[in-house]
Amino acid sequence: MHARPILTIPLYILLNLSYASSQLILTLSWNSLKQDIYRFSYMATFIKLFVNTLFIMSLLASANNAQLINNFYGKTCPSLQTIVRNTMTNAIKTEARIGASILRLFFHDCFVNGCDASILLDDTVTFVGEKNAAPNKNSARGFEVIDTIKTSVEAACNATVSCADILALAARDGVFLLGGPTWVVPLGRRDARTASQSAANSQIPSPFSDLSTLTTMFSNKGLTINDLTVLSGAHTIGQGECQFFRTRIYNETNIDTSFATLRKSNCPVSGGDTNLAPLDTLTPTTFDNNYYKDLIASKGLFHSDQVLFNNGTQDNLVRTYSTNGAKFSSDFAVAMVKLSKISPLTGTNGEIRKNCRLVN
């Protein structure tokens, strides 16, 4: 049991509530208890103490199960959202792709033990983090921007805002600044004191996955196959490495021939593993619905993209998004909020990291 949360609850509320609850429980169990209480007056005192203890324990438990809320930092860090927006604006001015990179960081954070900033932790001699897991190694990027935001946020309101919340807001702003939708991010996440390289290896989907595997992996996180299809629309921005699409452009048949030829020009059969290609061949720095037009034209870059339009169950939704950009935008926003709520640490769980790369 930690003492901290008790101190954060005004004492008079605690006393009133615990008194009320002990009265209630004593009344409810009165019939069975009154004889004993008459006989042994000390027992009533004991029961009250016991009930109070139970009540405080349940308060602690509910503090740990607290919901995320929209204006969590409204009083404690009113400048938070402006700081994140301004830093993201500058970062995207320097390099548009960084908005994509931070969106991907957020996805990879949330899919490994929830949105708890575990992906931001550096490896040390005594700590194995997620940065060197296969889906992240040499491809997860944007950490320096999160550091910059965190430094400004600490200067404005120290020891208050979690790195997990900063990442959720930065991902939202990256999408918006590249022309996509915006949404209200529920806040109050806390930062993990642990990370899991093995979970990062096994729970983040691979670009070689089939639709059934992707569906299962999303379902394991409480996300539906339609969430999968709309969130994959994130591939309307950003870049991918040759090693992840080589098999597709050389060996698959559900691919546009001229598109395959174009991609082969910078992705040889061997070598050039880290050569980049845009995920959306049409507008890679604009968050729009062109990703779905690519899929319909058999120009999905990864196997895991094209499976969404391959004579399967998602074809109709892909068609809808390809012609209805507004529906894509609003469904994407809803799905991002859902993604952002995957098993957050709240209340007294986890911590507010001082430095996003290190546990306190």
Ligand X SMILES: *[C@@H]1O[C@H](CO)[C@@H](O)[C@H](O)[C@H]1NC(C)=O
> Judged by CB, which is closer to ligand HEM: 186, or 205?
205
Give the C-alpha separation, 88 to 296, whole Å. 32
Q: Per CB under 6 A, does 230 bind ligand HEM?
A: no
Interface with ligand HEM, residue 100, by CB under 6 A: yes
Applying CB under 6 A, which of residues 79, 148, 151, 206 lies at the interface with ligand HEM?
Answer: 206
Site for ligand X in 257-296 (CB under 6 A): 269
Choose one: 53-61, 72-80, 202-210, 243-251; the region binding ligand X (CB under 6 A). 243-251
Is residue 314 a contact residue for ligand X (CB under 6 A)? no
Question: Which sequence positions are flagged as catalytic?
Answer: 108
Residue 99 vs 129, nearer CB to ligand HEM: 99
Q: For ligand HEM, which is the closer residue by CB, 64 or 275? A: 275
Task: Kindly identify the residues of this chain, within the stretch 159-198, that bind ligand X according to CB under 6 A.
Answer: 159
Which residue, 53 or 158, has its beta carbon nearer to ligand X? 158
Q: Which stretch binds ligand HEM (CB under 6 A): 47-55, 59-67, 154-162, 203-211?
A: 203-211
List, as residue ranges, the binding site.
109, 112, 114, 116, 118, 130, 205, 235-236, 280, 283, 288
What is the binding site for ligand X (CB under 6 A)? 158-159, 246-247, 250-251, 254, 269, 310-311
What is the binding site for ligand HEM (CB under 6 A)? 97, 100-101, 103-104, 107, 139, 141, 205-207, 209, 214, 228, 231-232, 234-235, 237-241, 244, 279, 302, 304
